[in-house]
Chain A
Amino acid sequence: MSELPVTLTVNGEVHALRLPPWETLVECLRDRLGLLGVKKSCDVQVCGACTVLLDGRPVSACTLPAFEARGREVRTIEGLARGEELHPVQAAFVEAGALQCGFCTPGMILAAVALLEESPAPTPDEVKHYMRGNLCRCTGYKRILEAILAAARRLAADGR
């Protein structure tokens, strides 16, 4: 079984790797690149804990083979903050208390970032529909919804 040459960009950094085709993106990001903010949980694309952005769009890293990221840009939770300055969605989650155990939070925040890039002023129903595939077993979702709507307002006010 042969390995494939795979060059991908992760959080702005280019990695030239050789990977077996069956290596999943979550294995590559966690085990090769040490990005432990990507969580493996349900392993069947249902829970959203492994959400990362591929060219800005949300994907389940648990099931996507890593070779699919060839020549593309992967963004994980580690790549969101600018130095010590949190991304507005991260800051909104902190301010709203939109997390408890935190396990779902990286995927939740990345999905919300993708949503707001696509739809900068979503209605509460649009947020719920988009975020339906990201499960949280602690918060009851209310504060997550509030945080995403607050982040949308902040991004609009900042002109971002």
Chain B
Amino acid sequence: MLPPFELCEPTSVAEASALLSRHGETARLYAGGTELLLAMKAGLLRSDYLVNVKTIPGLAGVRVDPDGTLRIGAATPHRAVERDPLVRARFPALARMEADVANVRVREVGTLGGNLCFAEPHADPGALLQVFDATVRLARAGADRTIPVAALFLGPFETALAPDELLTEIAVPPLPPRSAAAYAKLGILERPSAGVAVAVTLDGGGVADVRIAVGSVGPVPRRMPEAEALLRGRSLPESRAALPAAGRVAGRAADAVSDLHGSAEYKTHLVGVLLRRVFEQAVAAAGAPGAPG
């Protein structure tokens, strides 16, 4: 059973922000509720007021700017991203990742913005969005700011959102030509034990750029610049030969935490295994004629 709460239904970001200011820690934003309501049922979180962001016009939906940047409203359900024709055509790795979040019922209701704001470490989108250099827009009454998605995550269940701020939009820039992204995860429970994302840009016979992000393993999803440096600017055979070393470096840097989803040692190992898989997937997709990310 859900504990009692009062429902607030603002019709603007400013009104929602004012409600958060007025009620302080007794209020929480509510979108899909797929994480929040479970925590409330379990008695882990208490909220006297739930502020329903779905009543704010313009907070859900997907569009692509003329420069190719994908803009996803924070209250867009995972399934709407997964099924969107523009996302599938231009950001296929993102569509595939979204199609594998939890189960179909969670994806129908749960939102991409809610997933990011809850900052549950065992989640998929936070890692993949980082290899696209995605940004998030945070808004409050009369002001907004845009930060890299990586800067949103401060710790497990902890974000850079100010108490009266809302995440309103996720912006995903397109990858350069001859690039592709890939994401793979492995889990033994409902949630992933480890997830690894890459974006690869090919150039002649070589690997011009590589971006790597690891999620679910440590306290927050994060980029792995040291591992990227081992693979970047090399011929494809050289990059392949460096994959085991890059996997070890990324595994160590992921700051693995032992929990129900696996031991730190196991998760560290998984990072290397998944990195090899996603690197090959991304290279194959980037090499295909006209392949987008």
Q: Count residues of chain A with CB under 8 A from any CB of chain B.
A: 31
A133 and B38 in contact, given A1-B6, A22-B4, A65-B33 (Cβ under 8 angstroms): no
Closest residue of chain B to A57, judged by CB?
B108
Which residues 1-57 in A have Cβ within 8 Å of B in the complex?
1-2, 4, 20-24, 27, 43-46, 48, 51, 54, 57
Q: Are A63 and B33 in contact (CB under 8 A)?
A: yes
Q: In the complex, which of the residues A21, A51, A57, A114 has the most CB atoms of chain B within 10 Å of its own CB atom?
A: A21
Q: Are B37 and A63 in contact (CB under 8 A)?
A: yes
A22 and B105 in contact, given A63-B33, A63-B37 (Cβ under 8 angstroms): no
CB neighbours (8 Å) of A46 from chain B are 103, 190
CB neighbours (8 Å) of A22 from chain B are 1-5
Measured between alpha carbons, how far is A111 from B106 in the docked complex, in Å?
13
CB neighbours (8 Å) of B288 from chain A are none
Closest residue of chain B to A67, judged by CB?
B7
A130 and B104 in contact, given A22-B5, A24-B2 (Cβ under 8 angstroms): yes
CB neighbours (8 Å) of B190 from chain A are 46
Measured between alpha carbons, how far is A67 from B79 in the docked complex, in Å?
21
Measured between alpha carbons, how far is A62 from B6 in the docked complex, in Å?
19
Closest residue of chain A to B6, judged by CB?
A1
CB neighbours (8 Å) of A129 from chain B are 99
Q: Does A148 contact B (CB under 8 A)?
A: no
Closest residue of chain B to A61, judged by CB?
B105
Measured between alpha carbons, how far is A57 from B110 in the docked complex, in Å?
13
- Which of under 10, 10 to 19, 20 to 34, or 35 or more describes the interface residues of B? 20 to 34
Measured between alpha carbons, how far is A51 from B104 in the docked complex, in Å?
10
A2 and B108 in contact, given A45-B103, A48-B103 (Cβ under 8 angstroms): no
Q: Does A64 contact B (CB under 8 A)?
A: yes
CB neighbours (8 Å) of B38 from chain A are 44-45, 63
Q: Does A154 contact B (CB under 8 A)?
A: no
CB neighbours (8 Å) of A92 from chain B are none
Q: Does B128 contact A (CB under 8 A)?
A: no
Q: Are B3 and A51 in contact (CB under 8 A)?
A: no
Binary contact track B92-107/A, C-beta < 8 Å → 1, others 0: 0000000100111110
CB neighbours (8 Å) of A132 from chain B are 103-104
Q: Does A116 contact B (CB under 8 A)?
A: no
A2 and B104 in contact, given A43-B41, A46-B190 (Cβ under 8 angstroms): no
B105 partner, pick from A23, A43, A51, beta carbons under 8 A: A51
